């Protein structure tokens, strides 16, 4: 086995988990050199403080953002970038536009701090173009000089991280993206950043063609039976109204305010993604005010025995929209189009995402309620009950679409999502043809249980049970870097994605 070189996207809190993965690859699997791209100064400090592994080079997103301010706009260079890396790529291999890189960057396009979002960009068009220049130039130079054999990614949600992925693809560098399967706590690896499960899909195709018999079929059947008998509930945060005025929440807010204040005073000139403590305070107070006023007068009681379609709102800003569905980021506009594509007597029930509680204004919901057949359902109403009784479910890229398929419901999606691989998911195309697709899905939808079992079997086969987000967000580095579960995950990564590469190099 030859030695390999790797590159990692080390954004935010993932920097610690990425570093731990790299250490294990270095210790046991013949990866000797590492380069990286990191975001946030705290991630940079952590990576540069470690003596157990050197990132050479380590591109720092905040440094590149600072450099962009001094860039001289070069339209010729931008045209070359657009031709080489523009998206979507034409059949000829020539690119189209660089806008997807900008749209996917919440800090450029939405002025997004941590706890609130805005549709007003913080940067001018010219400043955005300079950002493209600076970050593409640095990424291209690093990859050409280091020539890594593979690149590992988690959430690709910025100009720099998206450029790293696309440039690596163009250069023939193997891209490995860590994704959640939506099945229990199972994590998969894919070569696509668009939520397309390349490893799972390969096994699924072999099963469907009769060339493979999955050893996980019984487990897949059991998963379906268990889920349908006792559907898993949303595992996110507590609903605010339950502990909204508690002392614990107040103390936590005060603690986080001073944490933001310390970071701001230390790094306000160099960390463009860090929220100011004053913005944090404003947004917390705004959420408190919204919770105090409430939304109950806007809610309708659902008639679950009637004819209704379901559209659960998606969290934003998130890559589920900006990366996987960049032309559907206007959810109000999309809901308006869905509503007028339904049979005329149908209601369209819209329900908020739990994470977005108190983050949207009453005006946002009132705009939805101006649509005649739209009703807003209380965020605390059981989502599973709505999904089980809906005649059809609409989602851009959300988990409710997967749940709908598990409940044998017709599902229409608008973005790129892993379960689009199934015939039971109807991917929308032209908006003026949406009424035709809706009619077809309602009248001709056929649930294929065998196809679903085969897909879940493939997902079990090409995934690993790993509490990925717990490692990423909650545990200190020194505690988890030698955790046996992490070591098993790295072995899974090597066996599935790097072993053949190592043998060939």
The closest alpha carbon to 212, from 223, 220, 204, belongs to 204
Q: Is residue 213 within a helix (H) or strand (E), and if so which, with residue range?
A: none
C-alpha 195/C-alpha 322 separation (Å) is 13
Q: Is residue 349 within a helix (H) or strand (E), and if so which, with residue range?
A: strand 347-351
C-alpha 402/C-alpha 417 separation (Å) is 10
Which residues does 400 contact at the CB level (< 8 Å), separation at least 6? 310, 312, 383, 387, 393
As a whole number, the mean pLDDT across the chain is 91
C-alpha 306/C-alpha 342 separation (Å) is 14
Q: Are 407 and 228 in contact (CB under 8 A)?
A: yes
C-alpha 115/C-alpha 281 separation (Å) is 10
Output the pLDDT for position 504: 79
Q: Specify the residue for token string 């003026």.
A: 432
Output the pLDDT for position 46: 95
Q: What is the DSSP letter of 432?
A: G
Q: What is the pTM for the complete model shown?
A: 0.92
Neighbours of 70 (CB within 10 A): 8
Q: Which two tokens stand for residue 154?
A: 């988690």
Helix, strand or coil for residue 204? Answer: helix
Q: What is the DSSP letter of 97?
A: B
Output the pLDDT for position 471: 77
Query: Domains of the chain (ranges plus CATH)?
Result: 4-195+465-504 (no CATH), 240-293 (no CATH), 296-451 (3.40.50.2000)
C-alpha 157/C-alpha 321 separation (Å) is 10
Output the pLDDT for position 165: 98
Q: How confident is the model at residue 115 (pLDDT cuts 50, 70, 90)?
A: very low
Helix, strand or coil for residue 324? Answer: coil
C-alpha 231/C-alpha 403 separation (Å) is 9
Q: How confident is the model at residue 238 (pLDDT cuts 50, 70, 90)?
A: very low
Distances (CA, A) of 14 to 96, 175, 461, 481, 487: 31, 17, 25, 13, 16
C-alpha 406/C-alpha 329 separation (Å) is 26
Q: Which two tokens stand for residue 398?
A: 């959300």
What pLDDT digit, counting tens, does each position of 51-104 carry?
999 999 999 999 999 999 999 999 999 999 999 999 998 888 899 999 999 999
Q: Are 75 and 48 in contact (CB under 8 A)?
A: no
Mean pLDDT over residues 422-450, rounded?
Answer: 97
C-alpha 363/C-alpha 366 separation (Å) is 5
pLDDT of residue 207 exceeding 80, the answer is yes
pLDDT of residue 50 exceeding 60, the answer is yes
Helix, strand or coil for residue 377? Answer: strand
Percent of the chain with pLDDT over 70: 90
Output the pLDDT for position 236: 42
C-alpha 170/C-alpha 176 separation (Å) is 14
Pairing of strands 150-153, 374-377: unpaired
pLDDT of residue 475 exceeding 60, the answer is yes
Q: Are 342 and 438 in contact (CB under 8 A)?
A: yes
Q: Are 486 and 480 in contact (CB under 8 A)?
A: yes
C-alpha 414/C-alpha 36 separation (Å) is 33
What pLDDT digit, counting tens, does each position of 151-168 carry?
999 999 999 999 999 999
The closest alpha carbon to 28, from 48, 55, 1, belongs to 1
**Main-chain dihedrals φ then ψ at residue 65, nearest 5 degrees:** -65, -40
Q: Are 74 and 100 in contact (CB under 8 A)?
A: no
Q: Are 51 and 19 in contact (CB under 8 A)?
A: no
Q: What is the DSSP letter of 498?
A: I
The closest alpha carbon to 234, from 31, 379, 79, belongs to 379
Size (the chain), residues? 505
What pLDDT digit, counting tens, does each position of 267-304 carry?
655 667 766 677 777 777 888 888 889 999 999 999 99
Across the strands, what pairs with 341?
A: none
Largest CA distance in the chain: 66
Output the pLDDT for position 119: 73
**Hey, what's the torsion of the CAs at 224, 229, 234, 239, to 10 degrees?**
180
């Amino acid at each position: 086995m030859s030695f390999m070189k790797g590159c990692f996207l080390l954004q935010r809190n993932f920097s610690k988990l990425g570093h731990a993965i790299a250490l294990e690859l270095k210790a046991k699997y013949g990866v000797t050199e590492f380069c990286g791209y990191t975001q946030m100064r705290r991630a940079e400090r952590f990576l540069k403080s470690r003596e157990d592994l050197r990132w050479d080079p380590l591109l720092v997103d905040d440094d590149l953002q600072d450099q962009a301010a001094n860039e001289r706009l070069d339209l010729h260079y931008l045209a070359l970038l657009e031709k080489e890396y523009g998206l979507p790529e034409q059949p000829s291999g020539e690119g189209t536009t660089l806008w997807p890189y900008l749209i996917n960057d919440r800090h450029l396009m939405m002025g997004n701090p941590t706890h609130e979002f805005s549709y007003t960009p913080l940067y001018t068009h010219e400043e955005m173009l300079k950002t493209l220049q600076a970050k593409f130039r640095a990424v291209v130079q690093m990859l050409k000089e280091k020539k890594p054999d593979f690149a590992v990614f988690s959430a690709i949600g910025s100009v720099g991280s998206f450029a790293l992925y696309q440039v690596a693809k163009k250069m023939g560098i193997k891209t490995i993206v860590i994704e959640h399967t939506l099945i229990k706590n199972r994590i998969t690896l894919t070569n696509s950043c668009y939520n397309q499960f390349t490893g799972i899909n390969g096994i699924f195709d072999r099963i469907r063609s009769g060339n493979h018999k999955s050893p996980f079929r019984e487990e897949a059947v059991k998963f379906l039976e268990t889920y349908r008998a006792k559907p898993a509930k949303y595992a996110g945060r507590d609903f605010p109204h339950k502990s909204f005025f508690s002392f614990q929440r107040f103390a936590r807010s005060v603690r986080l305010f001073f944490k933001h204040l310390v970071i701001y005073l230390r790094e306000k000139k160099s960390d463009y993604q860090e929220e100011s403590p004053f913005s944090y305070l404003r947004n917390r107070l705004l959420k408190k005010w919204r919770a105090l006023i409430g939304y109950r007068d806007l809610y309708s009681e659902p008639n679950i025995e009637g004819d209704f379609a379901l559209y659960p709102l998606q969290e934003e800003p998130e890559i589920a929209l900006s990366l996987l569905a960049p032309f559907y980021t206007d959810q109000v506009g999309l809901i308006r189009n869905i509503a007028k594509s339904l049979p005329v007597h149908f209601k369209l029930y819209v329900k908020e995402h739990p994470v977005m509680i108190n983050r949207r204004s009453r005006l946002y919901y009132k705009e939805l309620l101006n649509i005649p057949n739209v009703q807003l359902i209380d965020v605390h109403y059981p989502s599973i009950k709505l999904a089980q009784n809906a005649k059809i479910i609409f989602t851009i890229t959300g988990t409710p679409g997967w749940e709908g398929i598990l409940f044998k419901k017709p599902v229409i999606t608008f973005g790129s999502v892993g379960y689009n691989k199934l015939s039971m998911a109807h991917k929308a195309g032209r908006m003026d043809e949406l009424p035709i697709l809706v009619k077809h899905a309602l009248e001709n939808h056929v649930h294929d249980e065998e196809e679903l079992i085969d897909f879940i079997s493939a997902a079990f086969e090409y995934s690993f049970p790993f509490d990925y987000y717990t490692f990423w967000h909650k545990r200190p580095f020194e505690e988890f870097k030698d955790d046996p579960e992490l070591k098993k995950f790295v072995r899974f990564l090597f066996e599935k994605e790097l072993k053949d590469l190592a043998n060939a190099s």
